[in-house]
Structure 1
């Protein structure tokens, strides 16, 4: 199949808000794919090529587009052509590989139409936002294969691989009935992690789920650890294998009194007083060239398998008892309670210890991997700040023609990071924008325009917007040395002047240490 057909479906999916329409469009595409095209196509649609990251950044992609000249007039690239080129890009490493990688990128961009270039750039750079997330694709696979959605969802959960799930449902199941149902938990093969919904307070969360395990929410990195005898592997939230980068986690799990186990938890770095260090200190250990200065400590909050016994469908109370038996010194702190006042106390203790908040988990809940259900509820304090819009980027998909991604600035009254009284960029966000706000700001920003590039409109710094964040982190990308975490728009503040916006110093004060 031509890549152009995937591009057209991705555009259609991105242009609609209807989940049913997204599922219909994707199911129609999946039903027409050959076996060899399924995994690559799903990787493209989720901006997660099966090869993973292939070492191409914005600059490399832009250079390749420029070097290849005019885009192709007619589509000719097939899905398997692109998949093969990405394989070759991934393999081109080591001394002298730069010119070969450049040639491969130029070949890819030179054969692509303008629409395909735009699509592939966003796929490779992880910037494709079509709304074709895993949940929608699971439904589309079920629709295309005429299989029950729960069976497909469970297979996706247990394989951790949507491409393989599609192959099982669309290719294997028709000739081997029961293939989907036969997918089981395998030690050494990561599963999609269970996710949590949100609530404003611990009281609200406990009232929603009843008796619950109220546990600290650490400001760390999610890990899933598999042990099969002496073979221990550590996976990230996105199921990437990082075993070689976290030897201290491996050593801890090697000391547990089990032979085969699957654990779910978090890891983070601590300072000399056992207080959590900044999030990026933990994440620095996840990079390919990670240094070992930050020692990571693992804490676990769930166990999915112990010595031949699957626990996915056991209630949380049973899983916690097993966890207490095998890892008593590495459990995330928490209390089992149905009392909202007790949940509030645990939350205060967690915040006082420097953690993010709590997760409230129904004590009778099973492990619904890969889903954001109502049995787990996270509670974190929401911080809001008044910032100034400095620029906005043109959107794509259903936001094509709209100014969407906001560049946000904090006031710098003393000029510590620029000119006195100016504004220092601290992050971007496209979240929280309604269609009405998008239309308004697209018109208003162009009235305030002071400069533009092909992708961005810079505006006079006169609009104040209230932004909700989960916190900040250190950043070398922005001159103020700080970046917003999980920023989203709450409202424009017409009642505030730019000189009333929050300062860069206020945001920097949120940095621990």
Structure 2
């Protein structure tokens, strides 16, 4: 398969907002790719090479000065091999060798292919082949049920591997994927509910638990071996030794637990979220002593050789209480006074409660209606698209943020508003330094950035508006905080924003 085939498919994806059309484009690529090309093709079209980031920025690539080829000749396998060599080259003379490989690669690429490779290698390839659309495409190309593909992806965590299994072995190969200790699964997510009564009406048999303002963790234990992962599946075991020791001491041989962790103040109330997140990158002994993390587990996906993903939450909760004991998050099954739980959670400094269907399986990576979060304050997780230079006392700082909601059909984020409210001096300084590192282009007043940073926005509500493409705009939006624990794929969708429109 020529790289040109992938580039053309990428252009077709960018040219349509239709999920059905995107799925058809991707499915055709999957059917056409040979066995040795499929993994790389899927990786390219989902915006990241199989090797991950290889440390080549836009300036590095531009300085190579490669003249484009006149006719397409590069194959997908050629590109994958070159990137593999760049990723594994190290030691004396490695910088020169990496430049030689990248220069040769770009010299063999046409102008359109060079542009594609530039965007792929710098993280700017956002043409719309997000995970959900690719899952649909794999199902269509392999002629297998979408739910089987989604489950395989949930357990493998890797779309290229999922596509390879589907295209080579069909439904049988996909069903071979199992939960594997030491390999994290995508976390199950909650959807917002208007109120606690609404959530309880929707889920008649439910557990109500505290919703904490902590960082999501997933822990895996196999004997004495323990791994701790973030919600983005990044391993942080080396930074959170106290959590690893706690899990190692639980009364079991093997376990996979889902939960939250947070640092507590002396009075037992949660410290600011940023302080909890600071521990995920620190091994300094003095910071570890000052900010010990406390885990609160709310789900059990595996216990002593038995996988529980498909078991109802009622059974998973029983396993959780058996193994996690005092570390289970506060909550009650079918509580007599759910309002008292919400009041207690808020009084303790937490965000609200989560209402969960006791009969539901663990749907990893999905934001369905089996888990409903109830918070008295409306917030959305949105993507930063740009920032405008400030005026007055904010002169010299990037201030007014352009905010986008995620397109569930795989398109670019959809702008829903702007805000400069809530930005502290510390945040202004931070984003003035950070945003230019993600710059895609700028004009006199605005720096536009790659849609990678997620920011939590508090708002009074939304209103219909013709000003933005999504037909909706935020009302009285203010910045709460940046969310380094989330990626753009975790941001709220335009559908979630529209759902906040007043009815009637």
Same fold (TM over 0.5): yes
Name the CA shift for 1:298/1:98 in 2 (closer, same or farther; >3 Å): farther
Name the CA shift for 1:98/1:168 in 2 (closer, same or farther; >3 Å): same
Matches of 2:302 and 2:422, distance apart in 1:
33
What is the aligned partner in structure 1 of residue 28 from structure 2? Answer: 28
Matches of 1:227 and 1:360, distance apart in 2:
27
What is the aligned partner in structure 2 of residue 361 from structure 1? Answer: 356
1:131 aligns with 2:145: no
1:204 aligns with 2:198: yes
CA contact under 8 A between 1:383 and 1:468: conserved in structure 2? no
What is the aligned partner in structure 1 of residue 187 from structure 2? Answer: 193
CA contact under 8 A between 2:66 and 2:103: conserved in structure 1? no
CA contact under 8 A between 2:387 and 2:398: conserved in structure 1? no
Name the CA shift for 1:65/1:256 in 2 (closer, same or farther; >3 Å): same
The counterpart of 1:370, out of the listed 357, 361, 365, is 365
The counterpart of 1:407, out of the listed 376, 387, 400, is 387
Say which SS state the counterpart of residue 359 (structure 1) adopts.
strand
1:305 CA drift (Å) = 0.9
Name the CA shift for 1:468/1:181 in 2 (closer, same or farther; >3 Å): farther
Counterpart mapping for 1:93-172 below 5 A:
93=90, 97-172=94-169
Name the CA shift for 1:502/1:206 in 2 (closer, same or farther; >3 Å): closer
The counterpart of 1:239, out of the listed 233, 244, 248, is 233
What is the aligned partner in structure 1 of residue 305 from structure 2? Answer: 308
The counterpart of 1:327, out of the listed 324, 327, 348, is 324
Name the CA shift for 1:300/1:112 in 2 (closer, same or farther; >3 Å): farther
Matches of 1:432 and 1:262, distance apart in 2:
30
CA contact under 8 A between 1:65 and 1:109: conserved in structure 2? no
Matches of 1:114 and 1:357, distance apart in 2:
52
1:121 CA drift (Å) = 3.4
The counterpart of 1:248, out of the listed 242, 253, 257, is 242
Say which SS state the counterpart of residue 27 (structure 1) adopts.
helix
Name the CA shift for 1:3/1:429 in 2 (closer, same or farther; >3 Å): farther
Name the CA shift for 1:31/1:383 in 2 (closer, same or farther; >3 Å): closer
1:222 aligns with 2:192: no
Counterpart mapping for 1:413-492 below 5 A:
415=393, 417-418=394-395, 424-425=398-399, 427-431=401-405, 474=427, 476-479=429-432, 485-487=455-457, 490=462
Matches of 1:355 and 1:471, distance apart in 2:
22
1:298 aligns with 2:295: yes
1:313 CA drift (Å) = 1.7
What is the aligned partner in structure 2 of residue 382 from structure 1? Answer: 378
Matches of 1:5 and 1:257, distance apart in 2:
54
Name the CA shift for 1:80/1:186 in 2 (closer, same or farther; >3 Å): same
Matches of 2:165 and 2:481, distance apart in 1:
51
Matches of 2:126 and 2:482, distance apart in 1:
30
What is the aligned partner in structure 2 of residue 282 from structure 1? Answer: 276
- Higher deviation after alignment, 245-254 or 193-202: 193-202
Matches of 1:476 and 1:92, distance apart in 2:
36
1:105 CA drift (Å) = 4.0
Matches of 1:432 and 1:226, distance apart in 2:
30
CA contact under 8 A between 1:406 and 1:428: conserved in structure 2? yes
Where does the alignment leave 5 or more consecutive residues of structure 1 unmatched?
A: 385-403, 442-463, 495-500
What is the aligned partner in structure 2 of residue 460 from structure 1? Answer: none
Name the CA shift for 1:272/1:408 in 2 (closer, same or farther; >3 Å): farther
1:76 aligns with 2:73: yes
Counterpart mapping for 1:45-84 below 5 A:
45-56=45-56, 60-84=57-81
Name the CA shift for 1:15/1:348 in 2 (closer, same or farther; >3 Å): farther
1:24 CA drift (Å) = 1.1
Q: Give the aligned length.
A: 443
Matches of 2:10 and 2:481, distance apart in 1:
42
- Higher deviation after alignment, 307-316 or 251-260: 307-316
1:338 CA drift (Å) = 6.0
Matches of 1:267 and 1:509, distance apart in 2:
18
Name the CA shift for 1:172/1:268 in 2 (closer, same or farther; >3 Å): same
Where does the alignment leave 5 or more consecutive residues of structure 2 unmatched?
A: 436-452, 468-474, 484-504
